[in-house]
Amino acid sequence: MCLAVPGRVLDIEERDGTRMATVDFGGVVKEVCLEYLPDLQVGEYAIVHVGFALQRLDEESARQTLELFAELGLLQEEFGDAWEMAATEAGVDPVEEVRNQ
């Protein structure tokens, strides 16, 4: 599943002519393109989908959405370790597998 997730802009820089930001999604930090929101500033929140900030969001709405996503396990599904999730779905304990190697 691919969600549009709210995140808080931590810093902004221009890379190769593209405005990019470091964004915090409730503890998970990712790089995000700001080309669709060129006036977004550090400290503001935005809805992000597949690496692009799409819409500005107020802090309270962002906080509530992140809490709901966390309760539903959607943040882990969206940002979790893909290898770990695949192993879990296959019924393999990834920690035990590493220990046995």
pLDDT tens for each residue of 62-80: 989 888 887 877 766 566 5
| Helix (H/G/I), strand (E/B), else coil: 50 | coil
Q: What is the pLDDT of residue 98?
A: 44
What is each CA distance from 62 to 4, 7, 89, in whole angstroms?
11, 7, 30
- Using CA atoms, how far apart are residues 93 and 81, in angstroms rounded to an integer? 13
Q: Which of 39-43, 47-51, 74-78, 82-86 has the lowest mean pLDDT?
A: 82-86
